[in-house]
Amino acid sequence: MRQRSPLPDPRRRVVTGLAVFASLLAAGTAGYMIIERWTLIDALYMTVTTITTVGFREVQPLDTKGRIFTIFLVLFGVGTAFYLLTTFVALVIEGDIATALGVTRMKGRIAQLRDHHILCGFGRVGEEIAREFQERRMPFVVVEQSGEALRRAIDAGHLVVEGDAAADDVLIDAGVQRAKTLLAASDSDSGNTYITLTAKALNPKIFVVARAGKRDSEARARRAGADRVISPYAISGRRMALSAIQPNIVDFMDTLSVGRNAEQILAEMEVTEESGLFGLYVRHVVESARVTVLGVQRANGELIVGPREDTRLEMGDRIMLVGPEKDIEMASSRAAPARPRPNVEVSP
């Protein structure tokens, strides 16, 4: 498993240079005090003028040992001073300060996210996922360790975390403990399995969708805890076959899924106490808004396609709707007033 590769932090280079400079000051001061028997102030003054190559004058005449020590101190001091100088120049000229501030702001924005999506992998599949999330205005974070892919994600305006998505600290930085779903979409099946294991260990309730390129990888991903396993090649094959056999149906589903049919979109809602849907019947949902209920998935996994109007919605069910986006967003609030009173059964 590859370890995390952190984002370049210019402050770390500055700290390193200052630490070396401070060490040279301490070593030089101690050296003059031991070799030349000077006082602390004299030794520190001589060390500073030597390292900075100011070259005023010797505090006191140096013997042979003192001169040899000064030679080495000058060599190391000039190298350290040059390193610090080039680092500060890079901070100002190359815009590293802006980069550091941008990373800090991005971390702050990620820390504020709740119920967001984590996209692990920004390859060809990951880019399509990100585009779909962005079009639907869904909050998400991209986790990637490839520098080129990271640049593309940043240029697209996405929130990013650099590193191996199978590492605990990387997923924690991405907010896995507060996230709603995680999509393991890297090009490696084994990598997606490790990502799934790590995510489930950090947040057992997170919904994980894993990509599997090979057929035998699907079973491993499910054993690792993936709630859904998607094979792009299998889906592409079925799609091509359907496009040849039933092209109009494929076009119809595509139009609905991307919301390009006079704002008609497909959506999924969970039945909870807060949703206002628990205890209602399908006909109540249809009457409350201009939507069509395509299916109901029971909490036990049973899928009812084209449910009857007298189908009762139970806790944990998920309903699939099609209709105008505004009506779908308001479906639960509109249905809420039609809810039965507690302990009162509503007849279909």
Domain that holds residue 281: 247-338
> Could you tell me the pLDDT band of residue 36, with boundaries at 50, 70 and 90?
confident
Instruction: Give the CATH number, domain containing residue 15.
Output: 1.10.287.70
Which residue intervals of the chain are DSSP H helices?
10-35, 40-51, 64-93, 96-111, 124-135, 147-155, 168-173, 189-202, 215-223, 232-245, 247-257, 282-288, 325-329, 331-335
What's the Rg (C-alpha) of the chain?
Answer: 31
Phi-psi map region of 163: left, alpha, beta (phi>0 left; psi -120 to 50 alpha): left
> Could you tell me the pLDDT band of residue 343, with boundaries at 50, 70 and 90?
very low
Indicate whether 230 and 275 sit together in one domain. Answer: no
Q: What pLDDT is stored for residue 169 in this prediction?
A: 94
**Structure token pair of residue 227:** 């709630």
- The pTM score is 0.57
Could you say which of 35, 59, 93 is where a domain stops?
A: 93
Q: What pLDDT is stored for residue 257 in this prediction?
A: 62
Any domain includes 1: no
Please count the other Cβ atoms lying within 10 Å of the Cβ belonging to residue 213.
15
How far apart are alpha carbons 270 and 74 in whole angstroms?
71
Q: What is the pLDDT of residues 144-198, one digit of tens each?
A: 998 899 889 988 999 999 999 999 999 999 999 999 999 999 989 999 999 999 9
Any domain includes 5: no
CA 294 centroid distance within chain:
33
Mean pLDDT on 48-68 = 80
Burial class (CB in 10 A: 0-12, 13-18, 19+), 183: buried
Q: What is the pLDDT of residues 118-130, one digit of tens each?
A: 999 999 889 999 9
Q: Is the pLDDT of residue 340 over 70?
A: no
Q: What is the 3 state secondary structure string of 240-289? A: HHHHHHCHHHHHHHHHHHCCCECCEEEEEEECCCCCCCCCCEHHHHHHHC
Mean pLDDT on 12-41 = 85
Indicate whether 229 and 272 sit together in one domain. Answer: no
241-279 burial, b at 16+ Cβ within 10 Å, e below that, comes to eeeeeeeeebeeeeebeebeeeebbbbebbbeeebbbbb
Any domain includes 71: yes
How far apart are alpha carbons 289 and 54 in whole angstroms?
81
Indicate whether 128 and 173 sit together in one domain. Answer: yes
> Could you tell me the pLDDT band of residue 1, with boundaries at 50, 70 and 90?
very low
**Structure token pair of residue 117:** 């999506």
Q: Cα separations (Å) of 58 from 50, 136, 275?
A: 9, 71, 81
> Could you tell me the pLDDT band of residue 11, with boundaries at 50, 70 and 90?
low
How far apart are alpha carbons 202 and 211 in whole angstroms?
20
How far apart are alpha carbons 82 and 89 in whole angstroms?
11
Mean pLDDT on 272-293 = 80
**Sole residue written with tokens 């996922």:** 129
CA atoms within 13 A on the CB side of 206: 32
Please count the other Cβ atoms lying within 10 Å of the Cβ belonging to residue 10.
17
How far apart are alpha carbons 1 and 76 in whole angstroms?
38
Could you say which of 176, 210, 235 is where a domain stops?
A: 235
Number of domains present in the structure of the chain: 3
**Least-confidence region, from 49-63, 149-163, 300-314:** 49-63
Q: Is the pLDDT of residue 347 over 60?
A: no
Instruction: Give the CATH number, domain containing residue 284.
Output: 3.30.70.1450
Q: What is the pLDDT of residues 211-266, one digit of tens each?
A: 998 888 888 999 999 999 988 777 777 778 877 887 777 676 666 665 555 566 77
- Are 30 and 22 contacting, i.e. CB atoms less than 8 angstroms apart? no
Indicate whether 268 and 322 sit together in one domain. Answer: yes
Instruction: Give the CATH number, domain containing residue 188.
Output: 3.40.50.720
